[in-house]
Amino acid sequence: MQSKTIENSKSWNLVFCCWMIASISTLGSLFFSEVMEFPPCVLCWYQRIAMYPLVLLFLVGTFQSAKSTFAFTFPLALTGWVIALYHNLLHYEIVPESASPCLEGVSCSTVYIDWFGFITIPALSFLSFSLLLGILLILKRNNYYEK
Amino acid sequence: MKNRKLLVILSGFVLIGLFAFAAKSYKSYESSRLGFLSQSDSSVFVPDYAPQFGDEEAKVYLTEFLDPECESCRNFYPRIKSLLKKYKGKVKLVVRYAPFHRNSKHAIKALEATRKQGKYWEALELLFKYQPKWASHHHPQPELIFVYLKEIGIDIEKLKVDMKDPKIAKMIEQEVSDLKLLKVRGTPAFFVNGKPLEKFGITYLEELIQKEIKKSY
């Protein structure tokens, strides 16, 4: 039983951090859509699909080996990160809107919040996914040297 | 091991608690902001150009943001009418526009132009009545509006000229900016004396109206 759980405390802290980041991102996005009633655009939905399951995966991960946690969460985090990157490129008009999949409903380049001139919802999403990817890579390295 | 479990459970509760607290504070901030708006600037809810229906002396203003092309507005219209009948003399309707559909602006312009011929309310009812025809999803035909308006004796040539009045275009711009200020993202949207309808539904609307009548009379 003991062998199944995370071996060292550094790895555990990293997984716990990931869980917190995923939880805060999930609750934050729910706050924007359910409390502030901003309608999520298509790209936001794709990012949510990647982010929401991570909350449960990391939660289970705090009681599993770091190796399997990495294996299950990395693909989701990477997918979310790529979509978030694309969303930001769209947002900053590096990719033209006409190339976006949002033809009807809410436009993906609509700006809902803009704190201090650069903190937007897509930017927050990109930050979360980047942090997750970064921590996951540290987790992998950390575990590699442990063996 | 035990400490880890405790930390995870505690953090979970803290996050959910923070979320609930933030949601509550945001809601109360929003309703006080709208309350402040209605006190300091009632023109946000009752601009002088907006068509009003009901007794001059009525103290309760029911502001409805509607879109002639919106199906839900069409369904609500007879119910709003019966509410106005029920509370006759106490409630008046203020019509505002939320041009959220493709041909909304065209319909609003035509509707506004009918005011010059004194047939606004008949025209509004007519647009709702024939909405499935001129605003059909598969095959919208906004030009049909002119055909139907003849039914109530509108002079279409005059209407077409009046529609181009820059005042109407300016008014629509004002409506759109007020929609953003009031955070209206769906139609119909209701405000009773500046208070937003928090839960959508005709019974909730009637409750809100009764509350405001009690306060005003």
pLDDT value of residue A28: 94
Are residues B168 and B109 in contact, defined by beta-carbon separation less than 8 angstroms?
yes
Distance separating alpha carbons of residues B126 and B145, to the nearest angstrom: 9
Are residues A102 and A41 in contact, defined by beta-carbon separation less than 8 angstroms?
yes
Q: How many domains does chain A have?
A: 1
Q: Do A39 and B8 lie within an 8 Å CB cutoff? A: no
Pairing assessment for the beta strands B189-192 and B60-66 based on DSSP bridges: antiparallel
Considering the domain architecture, whether residues B54 and B119 belong to the same structural domain is answered as: yes
Considering the domain architecture, whether residues B137 and B181 belong to the same structural domain is answered as: yes
Q: How many domains does chain B have?
A: 2
Closest residue of chain A to B102, computed from CA coordinates: A104
Q: Which domain holds residue A6?
A: 2-146
Q: Return the structure tokens found at B59.
A: 């103290």
Q: Return the structure tokens found at A117.
A: 């001139």
Pairing assessment for the beta strands B60-66 and B91-97 based on DSSP bridges: parallel
Least confident of A16-20, A128-132, B15-19, B197-201: B197-201
Q: Return the structure tokens found at B216.
A: 């005003």
Strands (E), chain B: 52-53, 60-66, 91-97, 189-192, 195-196
Q: How confident is the model at residue A22 (pLDDT cuts 50, 70, 90)?
A: very high
Considering the domain architecture, whether residues B153 and B81 belong to the same structural domain is answered as: yes
Distance separating alpha carbons of residues B95 and A49, to the nearest angstrom: 40
Residue A144: Cβ within 10 Å count: 9
Considering the domain architecture, whether residues B69 and B154 belong to the same structural domain is answered as: yes
Q: Which domain holds residue B14?
A: 2-40
What CATH number does the domain containing B211 carry? 3.40.30.10
Hey, which residues does A25 pair with through a beta bridge? none
Contacts of A36 in chain B (CB under 8 A): 26
What CATH number does the domain containing A63 carry? 1.20.1550
Considering the domain architecture, whether residues B174 and B136 belong to the same structural domain is answered as: yes
How many residues can be counted in chain B? Answer: 217
Residue B145: Cβ-neighbour burial (10 angstroms; 0-12, 13-18, 19+)? buried
Q: Return the structure tokens found at B185.
A: 């993202």
Contacts of B25 in chain A (CB under 8 A): none
Considering the domain architecture, whether residues B14 and B85 belong to the same structural domain is answered as: no
Contacts of B183 in chain A (CB under 8 A): 37
Considering the domain architecture, whether residues B117 and B209 belong to the same structural domain is answered as: yes
pLDDT value of residue A39: 80
Residue A137 has pLDDT above 90, yes or no: yes
ipTM of the complex, rounded to two decimals: 0.71
- Which tops the pLDDT comparison, B182 or A97? B182
Considering the domain architecture, whether residues B16 and B84 belong to the same structural domain is answered as: no
Q: Do B1 and A5 lie within an 8 Å CB cutoff? A: yes
How close is the nearest chain B Cα to the Cα of A13, in Å? 9
Distance separating alpha carbons of residues B187 and B58, to the nearest angstrom: 24
What is residue B136's DSSP assignment? -
Q: How confident is the model at residue A97 (pLDDT cuts 50, 70, 90)?
A: low
Least confident of A9-13, A48-52, B76-80, B166-170: A9-13
Q: Do A37 and B16 lie within an 8 Å CB cutoff? A: no
Residue of B1, B15, B183 lying closest to A23 (CB–CB) = B15
The average pLDDT across A118-142 equals: 91
Residue A4 has pLDDT above 90, yes or no: no
